[in-house]
Amino acid sequence: MTRITLPRPDDWHLHLRDGAMLTGVLPETTRHFARAIVMPNLVPPVVTGAEAAAYRARILAALPAGAGFEPLMTLYLTETTDPADVAAAAASGLVKAVKLYPAGATTNSHSGVRDFDKVRGVLEKMAEIGLPLCVHGEVVDPAVDIFDREAVFIETVLDPIRRATPGLRVVMEHITTRDGVDYARAQGDDLGATITTHHLILNRNHILVGGIKPHYYCLPVAKREHHRLALREAATSGEARFFLGTDSAPHVDPLKECACGCAGCFTATNTMQLLAHVFEEEGKLANLAAFASENGPRFYRLPVNTATLTLEKTATPASWPAKIETGAGPVTVFDPGFPVFWHAID
Ligand SMILES: NC(=O)N[C@@H](CC(=O)O)C(=O)O
Ligand SMILES: [Zn+2]
Ligand SMILES: [Zn+2]
């Protein structure tokens, strides 16, 4: 197959930031995607319904002319989040999910949750109204090795929360391990899992062998090869619980290429071309629509897009800018390290 047309894809985990960075990176997403679940880890975070409404207005104001793009807003869960505010923001249609960051787990997570008992009321309200909880699933205990933090989180935090809150709908965000895949598969349809583009391409050697590659560093950090293979098998399986969340997470180059570089890979620009490459390699191109266009809306109880995106394979490698120049500074586009022959027909 050299040409494939999908319902227009959505990105179920995206960082758009704010201000000049937002303006700079937004066209990279709207070029191929119809909707995105927009992460709330701004500084300060998007905690209340009013803050989400204001952030949504800033995103709409930054849209390129003619872009048919709908930002799907999320709230950042804190220990003082008001269940009634969450319920009102969901009822109005403004907010599609609440995001749980264990405090200290990742970029701008210091306002996140330390004591899970303090968010019990919010989680119970969310279970009652069917509002999904998106989870950054890593423990922050310094004694736990960074490569084990996802597996330990599943066992010691995620599973207990789900057992204590029957009916809570959960998205395991950016799973990076076979443990994550296996856990997701063993649950009912109240659990979904997003998988990023870069975790289908990178293992930990890519970050560390032959010199440290700051643009391959993200959280959760890429794991051993057998985990990457498990993620590829899950993403390309067509199974309804697995869907695309790019976790495209722009940071300006000076904050990546330094002694203490930020976590995040910027894949908004070339995700669909890279996914076509990966799905073809796995002999599963026919399941790309399920992963990128159909399974996410089904989990979030939204319609599949009626618009389409066509991808075409040619003899000439696809090209994209090495960097996006934003008003905040340059942002390096994810380089898979191999030629990609799939082009998106914009
Ligand atoms: N994925 C990352 O490495 N970084 C994200 C935060 C996150 O999704 O954990 C960011 O906001 O930069
Ligand atoms: Zn995260
Ligand atoms: Zn993220």
Residues with CB under 5 A from ligand 2 (ion): 106, 136
- Cα angle at 195 between 219 and 22, to 5 degrees? 65
CA–CA dist 260, 191 (Å, integer)? 35
Q: What is the mean pLDDT of residues 133-152?
A: 98
295: Cβ contacts below 8 Å, ≥ 6 apart: 192, 239, 240, 241, 242, 243
Mean pLDDT for the stretch of residues 106-131: 96
Query: Is the distance from the beta carbon of residue 40 to the nearest atom of ligand 1 less than 6 Å?
Result: no
Q: Which atom of ligand 1 lies at the shortest distance from residue 251's CA? A: 12
CB 185, CB 191: distance < 8 Å = no
Distance 231 CA to ligand 3 centre (A): 17
Q: Which residues define the annotated binding site for Zn(2+)?
A: 13, 15, 99, 136, 174, 247
Give residue for tokens 């394979």.
313
Whether the pLDDT of residue 87 is over 80: the answer is: yes
Average pLDDT over residues 321-344: 98
Eight-class DSSP state of 287? G
Ligand 1 proximity of 100 Cβ (cutoff 6 Å): no
257 within 8 A of 214, measured Cβ to Cβ: yes
State mean pLDDT over 297-326. Answer: 98
pLDDT of residue 346 exceeding 80: no
Q: Is the beta carbon of 41 within 6 A of some atom in ligand 1? A: yes
Could you report the per-residue pLDDT of 155-214, keeping only the tens digit for each? 999 999 999 999 999 999 999 999 999 999 999 999 999 999 999 999 999 999 999 999
Percent of the chain with pLDDT over 70: 100
**Average pLDDT value for residue range 88-102:** 98
Determine the Cα–Cα distance for residues 196 and 285; give it in Å rounded to an integer: 17
Note the pLDDT tens digit of each residue in 45-72: 999 999 999 999 999 999 999 999 999 9
- pLDDT, position 1: 63
Ligand 1: atom nearest CA of 219 is 3
Which positions are catalytic?
247
Question: Domain residue spans in the chain?
Answer: 3-345
Our mutation pick for probing the ligand 1 site, out of 12, 14, 15, 216, counting the most ligand atoms within 8 A of Cβ, is 15
199 lines ligand 1 (CB under 6 A): no
Could you tell me which CATH class the domain 3-345 is placed in? alpha beta
What pLDDT is attached to residue 166?
96
Mean pLDDT of 21-43: 98
Helix, strand, coil abundance in the chain, percent, nearest 5: 35, 20, 45
Report which ligand 1 atom has the smallest distance to the Cα of 217. Answer: 3
219 lines ligand 1 (CB under 6 A): yes
